[in-house]
Chain A
Amino acid sequence: MRTRRTSRTVPRWIIVGFVLVVAAATGPAAGSRLVEAGTRTVSVGTYQWTQPGIKDWFEAVAAAFQKEYPDITVKPEVVPVNEYWDKMIVQVRAGSTPDVMQVNGITHQLIADGALAPLDNWLKTTDIPKRWHPLQNVLVRGGNTYALIYSMSNWSMLFYNKDVLKAAGLQPPKTIDELYDNAVKLTKGGVFGFSMSTQQNPDDQMAVALSQMVYLHGGWWAKNGVPTVNSPEVIKGVSFYKRLFDAKVSPIGMDQQQRRQMFREGKIAMSLDGPWVIRQIIDDPAWKERLGVAVPPSAVPEKDRVFMAQFSALAIPKAAKNKEDAWKFIEFASRHPWQVKMLELTLQSPGEKGVTSAKVESEFPWMRTSWDVDRYATRLRYPEGLEEHFPAFRRTLAKYATQVLLQNRDVSQAMDEAQKEIQDSLVKAKR
């Protein structure tokens, strides 16, 4: 009996002790330390805080911010990229969002749903609107700005392998026709001339590739909320895409990462991509001599030239509890030195227009071309004014483009049908 009692009481003591230790470590004492310090907290929901380059920027900004505002603690809420939007949407629905939210792809759905607070009252007290890149306009809806870009990038630099072009006796293309001719001439001996998406899925990759081509031909997916999928410029862009596809200048069935790897291995000669490729590729010393970059050729005059861009921005959700401090953080990150820092640490342009860096240029001379391309990078791959409908829009585009590529459908006919399908789905969505 005695033994049994002992064996039952010992674990109980262990449990009690454990509970006390846990309570001491995490309970009221820890909470009261925060309160005693009088600290306010700005939570930042992001998936980029842990990514190379951006991580350093966020950490440096947060540290300097806390120095300037010692009563405010910046608390990152880092969520892996694949889970980020699922979590944020749940938080938006539950009304328990972070104070600052990193937004990009689905910003417009959030705006349409009224989940983001307009920043205009704060913005008008600053010079930010004057300093910012024109791409910032994509975040204006109904005259209100809902997020501020902290990082942007063109997605249309022409990368080429100098060795392959030299061996073929070719120069980087200056016109759209030269782009096609080069791609065809360079496709031989196991090397493909050009990198482009050749299959419907993932449909976003096809949307990226299609947008690049359509924009090079002066086309728009939509203007002021009206789809223009069957406009002559779009048809020219899609037809050009089809020409390249039929010429078999790109590997079949490869996704973007695989094609980037092939470019790196010298199996693809030219590619339209963003400046992030530079950092990915330049680890290999051989590429320092081999990597060529150029402003891509465009079928339209320079004044009408538009290249595809992408962005990351910071927004304040309507449900944020600490909006004023959230804005302080965004404003702080938007100051010129931090914009320069963004470029230096990530090789991506900041939200502020025209930011360059001699330090970056000396180390990465290819960035000069990136800045040239950035000047025209004023449009996303989303249809203007219909951004919140992009997922369904993209699916329709990819479907009809696939019919053009693989089933040899007439481009005009396919785009007419795509236009009708998109219009019908918009009517349905507004129902």
Chain B
Amino acid sequence: MRSYGTGRVKRGRNGRLQWRRQGFFPYALLLPAVVVVGLFIIYPICQAVLMSFYDISMGSAGRPRFIGLLNYRDMVTSAEFWRAIRVTLVYVAGSVSGAYLLGLGTALLISMPLFGRKLIRLCLILPWALPQVVVAMIWMLMYDYQYGVVNYLLRVMHVLDTSINWLGDPSSTIPMLAVLVPSIWNQYPVATLMLLAGLLMIPQEAYEAAAIDGANAVQRFRFVTWPGLRPVTNVLVLLFTVWAFKRFDLIYLMTQGGPLQATETLILQTYLQAFQFWNMGYAAALGTLSLVVSLAFSTGYLLKIRRRGEGVLE
């Protein structure tokens, strides 16, 4: 059997040549991928990081001016930046927990032997199939102040006396809630699918043993289901967090970060700085920070999971 490892194992009489052949061949195979990744991912990232040290105006017929860490100083001293950080944290926490909990609930529901289970599964997965543009449009219509079904239902049920301007209310809570709901609605089917797969992996014997030990439904969930779902949960939380952190289209389409920056996440602020205010250097600094935060979170989270021995993909 031919090995494509480091080549050290398979040294023969003409071992040096063989090592070279075996040693370089795998790398040669990897080269195209490395070139593509280097060109289209690593190089733009390096460029963006580099840009963050420059003052770059829009057309830049005037040359970009090196300003060192000034963009970063402006960033950390800007109230708008810290507001965006707060908004991002709230959005990520709300979106991840909401999508996970809803996904868990629906996964538990459809793992039961219900009539029409396949149809229910299909219906539950539908929101995920919709592009975010469509999701945004649907919910904007539903939220409409004058004619929206959300206000109508809340008025009919006597929850509200007058309509709420869901996407334009000056309180920061209502617009945030209004963008969180479609985000969760769009994402929870992923959780449902993955958690359903996780549920089906839990051996039936574990439930039977727990039942014999006298465990009630809550205890069975706590001591059998929940530990059984932990590896899937780890993956989901990681994925949902990264997705929520970089979600742009849905929020931009619905509120453009408003009103009064109530839904302006870090990614939105980066976009607005780059393509509305043409502060490319400052936007690059924001983008670099987003990248660092995202990487730090992912790495920290994976290390923590590894230490707990709950390997995500093991």
Is residue B146 within 8 Å, beta carbon to beta carbon, of the partner chain?
yes
Is residue B66 within 8 Å, beta carbon to beta carbon, of the partner chain?
no
Q: Of residues 98 to 114 in A, which have CB atoms within 8 Å of B's CB atoms? A: 106, 109-110, 112-114
Q: Of residues 171 to 211 in A, which have CB atoms within 8 Å of B's CB atoms? A: 198-203
CA distance A161 to B276 in the complex (A): 36
Decide yes or no: A114 and B62 within 8 Å by CB, A199-B258, A251-B145 being known contacts: yes
CA distance A398 to B125 in the complex (A): 39
Whether the Cβ atoms of B278 and A109 lie closer than 8 Å is yes
Is residue A63 within 8 Å, beta carbon to beta carbon, of the partner chain?
no
CA distance A86 to B58 in the complex (A): 10
Whether the Cβ atoms of B260 and A93 lie closer than 8 Å is no
Partner of B260, one of A110, A115, A252, A402: A402
Whether the Cβ atoms of A201 and B256 lie closer than 8 Å is yes
**Stretch of B162-170, B239-247, B291-299 lying at the A interface:** B162-170
Partner of A199, one of B57, B165, B275, B276: B165
Which residues in A have their C-beta under 8 angstroms from that of B167?
199, 253
Is residue A392 within 8 Å, beta carbon to beta carbon, of the partner chain?
yes
CA distance A428 to B78 in the complex (A): 12
Partner of B60, one of A93, A106, A198: A93
CA distance A367 to B262 in the complex (A): 42
Whether the Cβ atoms of A113 and B170 lie closer than 8 Å is no
Would you call the interface of chain B mostly helix, strand, loop, or mixed? loop
Q: Mark A393-417, 1 if CB is under 8 A from B, else 0.
A: 0010011001100110000000000
Which residues in B have their C-beta under 8 angstroms from that of A86?
275
Whether the Cβ atoms of A199 and B168 lie closer than 8 Å is yes
Whether the Cβ atoms of B258 and A113 lie closer than 8 Å is no
Q: Mark B142-170, 1 if CB is under 8 A from A, else 0.
A: 00111000000000000000010101111
Partner of B61, one of A114, A198, A199: A114
Whether the Cβ atoms of B59 and A115 lie closer than 8 Å is yes
CA distance A199 to B58 in the complex (A): 28
A262 to chain B, nearest CB (A): 9
Is residue B223 within 8 Å, beta carbon to beta carbon, of the partner chain?
no
Is residue A321 within 8 Å, beta carbon to beta carbon, of the partner chain?
no
Which residues in A have their C-beta under 8 angstroms from that of B261?
399
Whether the Cβ atoms of A113 and B256 lie closer than 8 Å is no
Whether the Cβ atoms of A200 and B60 lie closer than 8 Å is no
Whether the Cβ atoms of B146 and A198 lie closer than 8 Å is no
Is residue A38 within 8 Å, beta carbon to beta carbon, of the partner chain?
no
Which residues in A have their C-beta under 8 angstroms from that of B165?
199, 252-253
Which residues in A have their C-beta under 8 angstroms from that of B163?
252
- Chain A interface bracket (under 10, 10 to 19, 20 to 34, 35 or more): 20 to 34
Is residue A391 within 8 Å, beta carbon to beta carbon, of the partner chain?
yes
* CB-based nearest A residue for B169: A406
B127 to chain A, nearest CB (A): 23
Whether the Cβ atoms of B58 and A407 lie closer than 8 Å is no
* CB-based nearest A residue for B166: A253
Decide yes or no: A115 and B61 within 8 Å by CB, A252-B145, A252-B165, A252-B168 being known contacts: yes
Whether the Cβ atoms of A251 and B146 lie closer than 8 Å is yes
Total A-B pairs in contact (CB under 8 Å)? Answer: 85
Partner of B59, one of A109, A200, A406: A109
Which residues in B have their C-beta under 8 angstroms from that of A200?
168, 258-260
* CB-based nearest B residue for A93: B60
Decide yes or no: A252 and B146 within 8 Å by CB, A89-B58, A92-B59, A92-B60 being known contacts: yes
CA distance A416 to B312 in the complex (A): 55
* CB-based nearest A residue for B55: A431
Whether the Cβ atoms of A391 and B278 lie closer than 8 Å is yes
Which residues in A have their C-beta under 8 angstroms from that of B58?
89, 106, 109-110, 113
Whether the Cβ atoms of A113 and B275 lie closer than 8 Å is no
Q: Of residues 157 to 194 in B, which have CB atoms within 8 Å of A's CB atoms? A: 163, 165, 167-170
Whether the Cβ atoms of B59 and A89 lie closer than 8 Å is yes
Decide yes or no: A406 and B61 within 8 Å by CB, A199-B259, A391-B278 being known contacts: no
Decide yes or no: A399 and B144 within 8 Å by CB, A198-B168, A253-B168 being known contacts: no
Partner of A203, one of B57, B61, B256, B278: B256
Which residues in B have their C-beta under 8 angstroms from that of A115?
59, 61
Is residue A318 within 8 Å, beta carbon to beta carbon, of the partner chain?
yes
Which residues in A have their C-beta under 8 angstroms from that of B275?
86
Which residues in B have their C-beta under 8 angstroms from that of A402?
170, 258-260
Which residues in B have their C-beta under 8 angstroms from that of A203?
256, 258
Residues of chain A at the chain B interface (Cβ within 8 Å): 86, 89, 92-93, 106, 109-110, 112-115, 198-203, 251-254, 318-319, 391-392, 395, 398-399, 402-403, 406-407, 428
Q: 22 A-B pairs, CB-CB below 8 angstroms?
A: A92-B60, A93-B60, A106-B58, A106-B278, A113-B61, A114-B61, A115-B61, A199-B165, A200-B168, A200-B259, A201-B259, A203-B256, A252-B146, A252-B168, A253-B144, A319-B61, A391-B276, A402-B170, A403-B260, A406-B259, A407-B170, A428-B74
Residues of chain B at the chain A interface (Cβ within 8 Å): 57-62, 74, 144-146, 163, 165, 167-170, 255-261, 272, 275-278
Q: Beyond the given A200-B258, A252-B163, please list 17 additional residue pairs across the A-B interface where CB-CB is below 8 A.
A: A106-B58, A113-B57, A113-B59, A113-B60, A114-B59, A114-B61, A115-B59, A198-B168, A251-B146, A252-B145, A253-B165, A253-B168, A391-B277, A392-B277, A395-B276, A399-B260, A406-B170
The 4 closest A-B pairs by CB, nearest first: A406-B170, A113-B59, A201-B258, A199-B168
